[in-house]
Amino acid sequence: MNAPVSPTGLLIIDKPERITSMHVCRIIRGKLVGGGAPKRVKVGHAGTLDPLATGVMVILVGKATKLCDALMAGEKRYTADIDLSATSSTDDLEGRITPLDNLSPPSADTVAHTCARFTGVIQQRPPAHSAIWVDGKRAYKIARAADMGRGPELTLPARPVTIHNITILNYHWPTLRLDIRCGKGTYIRSLARDLGAAMNVGGMLVALRRTSVVPFTIDSAVPPAALPETLAQHDLLDPAPYLAPR
């Protein structure tokens, strides 16, 4: 009896809120196995989205997992809602939220000027509650232990990231909505925190939607619930056009 052949290709998923990126991968793996793929079929993704974030996830199957680095290196685009009246221990709604009083709401001109300062190559400190590896452990595990008094607080060093453009979609105190085009490794949570700090107000990400992982956009993305019960080779995008020439 021949062993099942592992499929290879891509799926462009619109990740829903409240599930992890790895949970999306498990859903896809289950559907592939149901369609005849080996139980250990490789399934990965080209860039994590936090549980509260939604939008484009590029799922890589089989030999297409080799495309991970190339796709992650491309430009990402996000729509972000920022609350400038509060801060959070995780820089988003999942942490300990601290409302701030007696703030002076920045003017629209100040907001525009500040956003412009955060474009180009900037130094950005990732959130302590992130998936970055620190001495063989995920940063969020160290941060959670610190939150419970079982270790020192974690402060990650700043590192260079590229933000190509920030467009203000709407500003009505205390909510700021931005369209952001950025490069690999950019944390929008950190950008929310740092924009607020630069204006002497709060800065907490309250909603995030990834609208593009170049060359894929939200228009071509499918929610996991809309996928067929089983997946096979014919359901996947051909990865060949996205392979770098040898």
The pLDDT > 70 percentage for the chain reads 87
Residue 2 lies in a domain: no
Beta bridge partners of 175: 83, 172
Considering the domain architecture, whether residues 146 and 56 belong to the same structural domain is answered as no
Considering the domain architecture, whether residues 198 and 226 belong to the same structural domain is answered as no
Do 91 and 196 lie in one domain? The reply is yes
* pLDDT tens column, 167-176: 999 999 999 9
Identify whether 228 is part of a domain.
yes
Q: What residues in the chain have per-residue pLDDT under 50? A: 245-246
The pTM is what?
0.90
Give the residue among 150, 148, 135, 143 at the shortest CA–CA distance from 189. Answer: 143
For residues 41 and 157, membership in a common domain is answered with: no
Residues with a catalytic annotation lie at 50
Looking at residue 134, its pLDDT comes to 64
Residue 25 inside a domain? The answer is: yes
Type of residue at 24:
V
Tell me the per-residue pLDDT of 65-87, one tens digit each, with 9 for 90 and over.
998 888 888 899 999 999 999 99
Same domain, yes or no: 61 and 114 = no
| Cα separation values, 236 from 66, 172, 200, Å | 15, 42, 48
CA 208 to chain CA mean position, Å: 8
Note whether 176 and 100 are same-domain residues. Answer: yes
Structural domain contains residue 1: no
Q: Which residues contact 71 (CB under 8 A, 6 or more apart)?
A: 46, 47, 58, 60, 213, 242
pLDDT at residue 140, rounded to an integer: 66
Count of structural domains within the chain: 2
Range of the domain at 66: 9-73+215-242
Specify if 148 maps to a domain.
yes
On the question of a cis peptide bond just before residue 127, with omega within 30 degrees of 0, the verdict is: no
Residue 188 lies in a domain: yes
**186 & 129 share domain:** yes
CB-based contacts of 218: which residues, under 8 Å, 6+ apart?
A: 14, 55, 56, 209, 210, 211, 212
**What's the pLDDT at 212?**
97
